[in-house]
Chains A and B, each alone.
Chain A
Amino acid sequence: MEHIISVLVENKFGVLSRVAGLFSGRGFNIESLSVAPSLDPSTSMMTIVTSGEDRIIEQIVKQLNKLIDVIKVVDLNESEFVERETALIKVHTKPEDRAEALRIADIFRASVIDSTPTTYTIEVTGDINKIEAIINLLQPLGIKELVRTGRVAIAREPIRPAVAQPKRVVKD
């Protein structure tokens, strides 16, 4: 099953390769990984999308925790979360397709951020289903280039004061 794991790490040289090396060395999947400084600039937040049986996910979480540069690991699938991804899509547009491209963008509340007589560059943000849907629709027009940020996700704040929830323990 797919899991989204948030990993708070030290913002220093070599940390990305330690995390990537852990995944490759132990044969764990990475579907996507995004990383950027967090609120405290001495740390970065990584969002890793991975998949595997429960036992594998448990190992991934534990192995990440074991890395000395990792401060906190949260398997977001343990609770509710929201996720977003941004894609930049450069589509070929023949004159007769230009209106269609704009209509598709409009449906997905995407915006055109660059335009030439033969292309549009469309920016779209949403969950993975939305991104994939717009790509599918634009495909027949001819996608010239596609860049995706990878997914980022954040836990939903519980509406009621949290009752002690069984969460995968962070840092044993």
Chain B
Amino acid sequence: MKLTGAEIFVESLKREGVKTIFALPGGVVLKIFDVLHQQKDVEVILTRHEQGAGHMAEGYAKATGKAGVALVTSGPGMSNVVTALVDAYMDSVPLVCFSGQVSTSLIGNDAFQEADNIGLSRPCTKYNFLVKDVNDLAVTIKEAFYIATTGRPGPVLVDIPKDVSMGKADFKYPGSVSIRGYNPTYEGNKWQIKQAAEAIMKSRKPVLYVGGGVIFSGASEELIELAEMMNIPVDMTLMALGAFPGEHPLSMGMMGMHGTYWSNMAVHYSDLVIAVGARFDDRVTGKVAEFCPHAKVIHIDIDPTSIRKNVNVDIPIVGDCKRVLQELNQILRATVNGEHKELRKPWWDQINEWKQAHPLTYEQDPNGPIKPQHLIKRLFELTKDRDPIVSTDVGQHQMWAAQYFKLAKPRRWLTSGGLGTMGFGFPAAMGAQAAFRDRLVLCIAGDGSVQMNTQELATAVVHKLPVKVVIVSNRFHGMVRQWQDLFYEGRYASSYLDVVPDFVKLAEAYGAVGLRATKVSEIDDVIREALAVNKPVFVDVPVDQYENCYPMIPAGGCNHEMILADPPELKKKQAASAKVVGEDKDTVLTA
């Protein structure tokens, strides 16, 4: 029996085990939506903007490890989803995005809502397909999922012209695919792994520098075994948070631009950096020429292009982090003895000294304005027993969340790392909630960022996605203001948000719940109240507007040269400018 392209599309999704897709219709994909409408296996979450659909699919993918799926229409539907594709490409998120296209006979004619979807997505997808014949549709979908989820994961776009979804073909879903130009390497080179094991045994000052690859490859257990067996401190990149338990004694917290003092000092003075599933991003390395100047570097990554792209590597190992760590651990287990503990004692003494010298700090006056760090710390303490999934937007609040929200497990952390996409947090949280209806999903948002996707409140209400969004309201593009404080003599060019909506009323306008805490003493109660309702909640928390996020390595600076607190001359400038820009401070918040 022949099926239409639209039916083949839906059947193929079922074969891939897709339960939920994030979608917004339009002319050329109506046939597909019509078929989706008449079945129950694949849930369609109608978003209010295609960017939202893309980020939801990302949140879904990051939380589950499976491919997230988005479906958008041609032209503007496609161009709206591009931000999410770029984001997913940067952060290696497995995504399959389907876009509608004008009929094949019209392609290239500047038809209504035609865009060159393949051209638009080429630089921001792992691969993309234009399906020109309905007979190719099923195999293309199979290949798309295969490419998105294997090797180094990433987004794949499948462009489906209208006549392809309307046309008919026999349906046979391929059991497997093989693509001659695509053969990711999973097994690491044995000899290199042996070299790595020897280097680890010998090292006096080793550091594990772990990235998001550990999470994608599901290598947390192996990582914990390695760190514990060899007594190695674990530095995590922003993308890796949760890959290693944040409260584990060997955890050094986040490294990089806003990483902990001790994590950055440790890489700088280390004699052996063991990079696992990380890519030596400039936000981690700082001035690349002076990154870990005293260390031998082992680099384990599934993507050969990551190796030696930014820094020289002594022992490169191309392979899947999990498998490589398994082999490495096996060798180490056979050779390990008590000696290395003794060998590394001075290193740990040094690290503990660094920890004591410059812990993460802030001062919360119980009667003063709420410090953003305090808010996040309380949110963490009040929710950690429920093992929440946490998403963030981009800015200061993101960095504080990374510092204070110490996740115990992988796939709990949804953040936009490589691209730094404001507006990511709220839809990403919804995507995770759609995958795990019973879990607690939090979003730590900025008052600037969250405005980039508040339209998705409607989606959250309609589809009953009870995410809890805590808005760290400083009425600034806070991270921009911080850079202006430090590098532009406090001139706040376009960083002050003259008007911020009343987030409580905004949430209520959509039928969600809005709450607000304005005093330190109210924080706990308001958080508890938010957790108690089974609805999406916006919790607006006005915080100290001028708090800056430290430590900070200025862009291009060296990792051991961190700014640890506001320079003294800065304080004055803040006080002076506060009067000017803060004049109408209360008009919106108390309205």
Q: Which A residues form the contact surface with B (CB < 8 A)? A: 9-10, 13-14, 17-18, 21, 25, 55, 58-59, 62-63, 65-71, 171-172
Contact = CB atoms under 8 A, between A and B. Distances in A.
A66 B304 contact: yes
Contacts of A55: 308
B182 interface: yes
Interface residues of B, number: 20
Nearest to B319: A172
B567 interface: no
Contact of B123 (A10, A25, A69): A25
Nearest to A25: B123
A9 B179 CA distance: 12
Nearest to A66: B305
B527 to A, nearest CB: 44
B308 A68 contact: no
Contact of B305 (A62, A69, A70, A71): A62
Contacts of A10: 181
B387 to A, nearest CB: 36
Interface string B116-130: 001100110011001
Contacts of B223: none
Contacts of A13: 130
Nearest to B129: A14
Contact of A18 (B122, B130, B305): B122
Contacts, number: 39
Given A62-B304, A63-B305, A69 B122 contact: no
Contacts of B119: 17
A71 B304 contact: no
11 contacts: A14-B130, A17-B119, A18-B122, A59-B308, A65-B304, A66-B303, A68-B126, A70-B181, A171-B183, A172-B304, A172-B318
Interface in B277-303: 303
Contacts of B185: 172
A88 B39 CA distance: 63
Given A55-B308, A68-B181, A172-B185, 19 more contacts: A14-B118, A14-B122, A14-B130, A17-B122, A21-B122, A21-B123, A25-B123, A58-B308, A59-B308, A59-B309, A62-B304, A66-B305, A68-B126, A68-B147, A68-B179, A68-B182, A70-B181, A71-B181, A172-B318
* Listed residue (A10, A62, A67) with the most chain B CB atoms within 10 angstroms of its CB: A62
B40 interface: no
Interface in B81-133: 118-119, 122-123, 126-127, 130
B158 to A, nearest CB: 14
Nearest to A42: B180
Contacts of B181: 9-10, 67-71
A66 B308 CA distance: 15
